[in-house]
Chains A and B, each alone.
Chain A
Amino acid sequence: MTEVGQSSIRSDGVVKTTGRALFGTDVILPGMLHARLLRSPVPAGRIVALDLSKVAEFPGVRGVLTAADIPDRRSGLVLMDAPLFASQFVRFEGEPIAAVVAETRTIAKQALALAVLEIEEMPSVGNIEDAIAPNAPLVHPDWESFATPPGLEWPRAGNVVAETCSDPEGVDEAFAGAATIIEDRFETGRQYQAYMEPRMAVAEFDGQRFTIHVAHQFPYNVRDRVAAAIDVSPSDIRVVGHHIGGGFGAKLDTGLEPYAALLARQSGRPVRLANDRSEDLLTCQCRENAVIKIRTAVSQSGELLARDVDVLMDSGASATDIPFLTSIPMHVFGSLYRIGPVRIRTRAVYTNTAPTGAFRGVSGTHLYFALERHMDHIANKLNIDRLEYRRSHLQPDGSKLPTGQVLEDAGILSEAFDAVEQLAPWSELGQGPNRGVGIAACMWLTNPMPGSATLKLNSDGTLGVLTAATENGSGAIATGVRQIAAEEFGLPADKVVVTMPDTDAAAFDAGSQGSRTTHIVGRAVLEAAIEVRAQILDTAANILEAAVEDLELANEMVSVSGTPSKQVSLAEIAATAQATTGPISGTGSYTTPMPPINPTCASGLLFPAFPTPTYHVHVAEVEIDPTTGIVRVLRYLVAQEVGKAINPEAVRGQIQGGVAQGLGYALWETLQIDGGRYRQRTFEAYGLPLAADVPEVEIVLLEHPDPAGPYGAKGVAEPPIIPVAAAIGNAIEDALGKSVDTLPITAERVLELLAES
C-alpha cells in the first residue's frame, strides 16, 4: 500500500500555519451585523420585568428579539423541552432572554447594558442528589407537556428526565450467597470541552432561504435543529462549514444558530453571533457530572457473582442528548471482566444549571472511573495483585454484555495487557516513596451513524471527494478519508481534495462524533469507488482496446497486465470520459449494521449496542509531593486497538491529545457548582493542562483489522480519553494508601486525603 499506513501530512497543515485557514469566527460578510444575547444572571427565577425600549433606541442598534416576538415553541435533540428565549421563568445562569443586533459588537454590548431586567430569584436545584430529594423544587413544573419524537418514549418523572433500568434475574440471590460484598460511591465533576474557538454562527437570509456559516461538527444537525426551532423546512436552510477550532462534542447540537437566523430574517442583513469566552463556558453543554454507586458480590475464590449499579447524571436544565446516555452504563458495567447478572439503574436529572451534553467518550470517562476504581478495591480486599486479578477475570471472545450483545473479539483486551507489560513491567512501576502505579482498561464503540461520499475524477487526474463530514482537527478528513480515497485509486494523497461540508451539496452525514468519520466515511468512499473504478476501467478498456479483466490500476495509470507499455493516465481517462460518456463520478453510503441485542434487556431509551468495539489498556505512574499535594505523571502507557492505523502519526496525535484531556479531567478541570452557579468562569480559573503538565505518552497500537472497515480501520479518537481518570485514580490511591472516590483529584484534594487519618 502506498498511502494507507503512511504518515502523510495533513491537507490543511499549510493553511493552518499561515493564518489563511478560514475558521467560522473569521467569516466576514458584506453588511454583516453583530448580535449579542441578554442572558439570565441567576440560576432560577421569575422574570418580573423586561424592557428593551432603551436598547432598541440606542444608536446603531438594528433590532431586538425576545420570546414575545416568536411563536411559543420548545425543541431539543430528543425531548422538546428547551425554549429559544426564557419568557416567564429562567432555569439556568446564562439562559438567553433576549437578543440585540447592531452595527458593531461594541454597540451591541453597550446597548444591552441598557436593558431593564428584573428577576425574582427562586429556590434552585443545584446538584444531582438535591434534584431527586422528596419535595425538591421542579426545574420544569410543566415537564409532562414536553413532546418526544414520534415512536420514542421513555420513563421520566419530575426532575428525572430519563431513566433506564435493567434488572436481570439472580442478582439478589447472588448477593445473598456472596462471601464478600464490595461497595463504592464515586462522584465526578463537570468538564468543559474548552475548544479554543468559542461557539459562533453567521446567518444570511435571501428572502427565501437561510445560509448559516458554522464551525460545527454536525452541519446536518444544525440544519434540522434550526428548522425545528424557528419553524421552517430543513431544506430552507443551507449550512456551510468552515474550519473548526475544536469541538470535542460541544459542537454537535445547535447553539447560537437559531438566533442568528431569526435576526438575519428580521434585519435583512447577515448577522454574526459569537460567544465571548465567559458566556461560552457558562452555557456550554459540558460533560455531565455524575454520582455512581456500585456494589459487587464476590465469591470466596474471587469470582464476580453479581453487581448492582445506580448512576445519577446531571442533565442540567434541559435534556439535550442525555436520555440516550442513560443507556451507556449497560455497555460498561458488564464489560471487560467475567461477571454474573448486573442490575443497573440510571437516572438523568434536571438541575438549574446549564444543560450538559456530549464530550469525547460520552459518560465513559466517569463510568470506567467507577468500574476500574471498584476493581482495584475488590482486588485489594481479596489481597490479590490488581493486575493479576484483572488478567485472571478477562472476558474471552464471544462474551455477552448485559444488553445481549456478543463481543466476538473481547480477547483482544488480553493482548493489550501484554502490550503495556512489554513497554514497562508492572512490577517495576510505582516503586519508591510517594509513587504509585495504576492500570485501567476500557471497551468502546465506533459510532455507527450514516455517512456518504461522492467521488469525481477530474480531467487533470485528481480526485474530488464530496461529503458533509467534518474535519474537527482529528485528521479524519485531512488524513484518513483522503488517504483511503488515494489508496483506492493509486493516487498520492495530495491529488485528493475533500470538500468542506455544505448541506446543499453533500448527502447526510452524522457528524464528527464517536470516532466515526474515518471508519464510516472511509467505507462510504470504498462503496463509491466501486462505481468509479468500473467507469475508469470501461473508459480505459476502450482507449487501450483491451478487456476490462486484463487492466490494472496503479500509480495514476491504468495498464494492460503483462504489457506495461500499453497504459493510459487517469487524467486522460477522465478527460476522455468527460468528452464521450460523461464525467466519471460515483456515490457511496454506509452505516454500520447494529449487532443483535436482547431488546427486553432494559426499560428506557436505549442506545442499543456498541458496534465495532475496540479494547484498550492504560497504565499511569505518578509521584505525589506530600507538601503541595501536586501529582506528577511520570509515565503514561497506552495500548490501543485501532483495527488499522491509516495514518500512524495522526493516530498518535489523537492518543496524546486524548490522554491530555483525560489528565485534565482526572487532576485539574472541573466546573464546581455552588448554588447553581459555576465557580470557575474563565480559562484562567478553569485550569487546562499546559505543555509541562503532560508527559509524552508511550504507545503501542494493536491492529486487528475490521472486515467492514476501510482497510480494516476502526474508531480511534475517543478511547484515549476514557480510562485516564481511572488509571490516574488507581495510581494515586496506590501512592497514598487512601481511597480516591471523587474527580478531579486536585492538589487540594490530595492534601485533604493526606490529612485524613
Chain B
Amino acid sequence: MHTEFVLNTREIEIEAPSTETLLTTLRERLQLTGSKEACVEGECGACTVLVNGRPVDSCIYATAAVDGLAVTTVEGLGGLDGSLTPLQQSFVDHFAIQCGFCTPGLLLTLSALLDANPNPDRKEIENAISGNLCRCTGYTQIVEAVEAVSLEERS
C-alpha cells in the first residue's frame, strides 16, 4: 500500500502491507528506534508518537492511516543540533528518567498535553499519562518535571 506522510519534517513515501503498524514502519522499515516496542497491545504507551499533534499508540496504529498526515517521534522533538525542548531538559534536570524505556512515549504524550494546556495541575498531568506505564520512577519526578516546565512558562 502506498503511503506518504511527513515524519519529523521529512517527507516519507513507502509501500507497505496494509496491516503494517506505524511502529513497525518506524522501527524496522525506517530504522528509527526511539519509539519503543514494549507490549504491542496499546497498553503501555512506550510507542506513543504524535499524529497531527495527537498522541497515538503506534503499535496498534496502521501506517496506512497516516497517509497525508504529520508524524512526530521522539527523534523529532528537539533540534537537529541536539538541543532539547524545555520538557526534555526538565526530564533530565528532575530525574524523571531511570531506565528510560518509557521516556520517549511520555515525552510525546506530555508535549501534546502542554501544547493543549500549558499549565496543567498535578491531576491533569496524572490523567494525561494514564496510558503511559513507567516501572522505575513511581511517577513523582515525572510529574515534577512537567510542573517545572509549566512554572517556567508562567514566569
The chain A residues found within 8 Å of chain B, CB to CB, are 7, 9-10, 12-14, 16-23, 25-26, 28, 105, 193-198, 243-246, 248, 276-277, 472-475, 649-650, 652-653, 656-661, 682-684, 688-692, 694, 696-697
Q: How far is the CA of A28 from the CA of B27 in the complex (A)?
A: 10
Q: How far is the CA of A392 from the CA of B41 in the complex (A)?
A: 52
Contacts A13-B92, A660-B139; A683 near B99 (Cβ below 8 A): no
Q: How far is the CA of A194 from the CA of B95 in the complex (A)?
A: 21
B98 to chain A, nearest CB (A): 4
Contacts A18-B34, A696-B140; A474 near B97 (Cβ below 8 A): no
B101 to chain A, nearest CB (A): 3
Interface size class of B (residues with CB under 8 A): 35 or more
Contacting residue for A649 out of B78, B88, B95, B102, CB 8 A: B95
The 10 closest A-B pairs by CB, nearest first: A19-B34, A473-B99, A245-B101, A660-B138, A16-B100, A19-B74, A13-B92, A473-B98, A656-B138, A26-B33
- Tell me if B140 and A276 are in contact (CB < 8 A): no
The 10 sampled A-B contact pairs (Cβ below 8 Å) are: A10-B97, A17-B91, A17-B100, A196-B135, A649-B94, A656-B140, A658-B138, A683-B133, A690-B129, A690-B133
B100 to chain A, nearest CB (A): 3
Q: How far is the CA of A383 from the CA of B77 in the complex (A)?
A: 60
B124 to chain A, nearest CB (A): 11
Contacts A26-B33, A656-B137; A9 near B93 (Cβ below 8 A): yes
Q: How far is the CA of A23 from the CA of B89 in the complex (A)?
A: 21
Q: How far is the CA of A9 from the CA of B94 in the complex (A)?
A: 8
For B82, list chain A residues within 8 Å (CB). Answer: 14, 18
The chain B residues found within 8 Å of chain A, CB to CB, are 28, 31-41, 43-44, 46, 73-75, 77-78, 82, 84, 88-89, 91-95, 97-104, 107, 123, 125-127, 129-130, 132-143
- Which residue of A is nearest B92, CB measured? A13
For B75, list chain A residues within 8 Å (CB). Answer: 18-20
Contacts A19-B74, A28-B31, A691-B142; A472 near B99 (Cβ below 8 A): yes
Contacting residue for A246 out of B32, B39, B99, B142, CB 8 A: B99
Contacting residue for B88 out of A12, A18, A243, CB 8 A: A18
Contacting residue for A18 out of B84, B133, B143, CB 8 A: B84
- Tell me if B100 and A657 are in contact (CB < 8 A): no
For B129, list chain A residues within 8 Å (CB). Answer: 690-691
B137 to chain A, nearest CB (A): 5
B141 to chain A, nearest CB (A): 6
Contacts A197-B36, A473-B136, A684-B43; A692 near B92 (Cβ below 8 A): no
- Tell me if A650 and B95 are in contact (CB < 8 A): yes
Contacts A659-B138, A683-B44; A19 near B73 (Cβ below 8 A): yes
Q: How far is the CA of A435 from the CA of B143 in the complex (A)?
A: 27
- Tell me if A683 and B135 are in contact (CB < 8 A): no
Contacts A19-B75, A20-B34, A683-B44; A688 near B137 (Cβ below 8 A): no
- Tell me if A13 and B97 are in contact (CB < 8 A): yes
- Tell me if A13 and B91 are in contact (CB < 8 A): yes
Q: How far is the CA of A245 from the CA of B34 in the complex (A)?
A: 12
- Tell me if B92 and A17 are in contact (CB < 8 A): yes
- Tell me if A9 and B92 are in contact (CB < 8 A): yes
- Which residue of A is nearest B17, CB measured? A106
For B99, list chain A residues within 8 Å (CB). Answer: 195-197, 243-246, 472-473
